[in-house]
Amino acid sequence: MQSIDKAVEILRQGGLVAIPTETVYGLGADASNEVALRKIFSAKQRPIDHPLIVHIADFSQLQDWAVEISDSASSLAQAFWPGPLTLILKKAPNVSDLVTGNQATIGIRVPRHPVALAVLKAFGGGIAAPSANRFGRISPTTAAAVHEELGGAVDLILDGGPCEFGVESTIVDVTGDNPVILRPGMITANQIKVVLKKPVMTKQQNAPRVSGALESHYAPMTKTILIESAEDFLPKISALQLPMALLSQKSLVITNPKIQFVQMSNNAKNYAHDLYQILRDLDKKQLQQIVIESVPHEAEWDAIRDRLQRASQ
């Protein structure tokens, strides 16, 4: 409880607090304080025109940040908040351009992690929080990973354990007639369709301003490639490509000591939970490459497929 009070005090003074959420750790600042918001961009080395997600304690605060809240937006919030869903809505007039990247819209969500909710409730206002990594890198899913990424640039890191989901929230634009998924997450297009009974569009290349839609994003430093089949790939590797790591869902027996095999889960939720931490650990091992076997084409794997594609670009 003491650390929650400390976090609130730092936020009120315009400082930065790393906060655990159910998706990934966020780098939080008071969303109504422009001095504090600027610190987010410099800590992350993030371009100033990339919009931030505002986190709120509950649905009743939505009207402080957004206007023209459609029935679709309300239904999705009722169904999935608190949870890993970010809504894109028309921004309220008083919202800082630093939050929205000068756009007319705002991204907003109620996270589900008890620590994030406790901070939000005690703070009372909105907390702008991008993922707590340096720009372009893998999002942190543990407090130790935040420390590695941002260290001294953060005033306080709240440790809420490993994140439940391990990939960032689903972002859905609800400003038009039909919802558009801007970034897939563990809440799938189908789950959204079931709630709204409307077609759901997916627009990967929609907005250049969605930093997660830039080509090389969520990427390890080590060269990372995606392959269709490990059995087809393995006989063709040369000594120059070693040492390497191989991530596959199959249980393969690999005898070459220069190939570090990581067996990934067949369950999408478990796979997502583990992925970023595994990539982060492998990135420290001076490998020539990280080779990842592609995942199933079913919808529940959409977010993972998306992140694997970005990691390998």
Amino acid, res. 208:
P
DSSP reduced 3-state for 102: coil
Q: Is the dihedral of CA 42, 46, 50, 56 positive or negative?
A: negative
168 contacts ligand TXA (rule: CB under 6 A): yes
Least distance between ligand TXA and beta carbon 132 (Å): 7
DSSP-derived letter for residue 139 is: P
212 contacts ligand TXA (rule: CB under 6 A): yes
- Angstrom distance (rounded) from CA 196 to CA 179: 9
> Count of residues binding ligand TXA (CB under 6 A)?
28
Cα distances (Å, whole numbers) of residue 21 to 111, 131, 247: 6, 10, 26
Least distance between Mg ion and beta carbon 52 (Å): 10
Least distance between Mg ion and beta carbon 145 (Å): 13
- Is-cis flag, bond preceding 208, omega within 30? no
Say if CB 220 and CB 289 are below 8 A apart: no
166 contacts ligand TXA (rule: CB under 6 A): no
131 contacts Mg ion (rule: CB under 5 A): yes
Least distance between ligand TXA and beta carbon 52 (Å): 6
73 contacts ligand TXA (rule: CB under 6 A): no
100 contacts ligand TXA (rule: CB under 6 A): yes
Could you write out the DSSP letters of every residue in 179-230?
-EEEE--SS-HHHHHHHH-S--EE-TTS-TT-GGGSSS-S--SS-EEEES-H
Least distance between Mg ion and beta carbon 29 (Å): 15
Pick from 6, 12, 38, 50 the residue near ligand TXA by CB under 6 A.
50
23 contacts Mg ion (rule: CB under 5 A): no
- Binding-site ranges for Mg ion (CB under 5 A): 131
- Binding-site ranges for ligand TXA (CB under 6 A): 21, 23-24, 26, 50-53, 86, 88, 100, 103, 105-107, 111, 129-131, 168-169, 171, 182, 207, 209-212
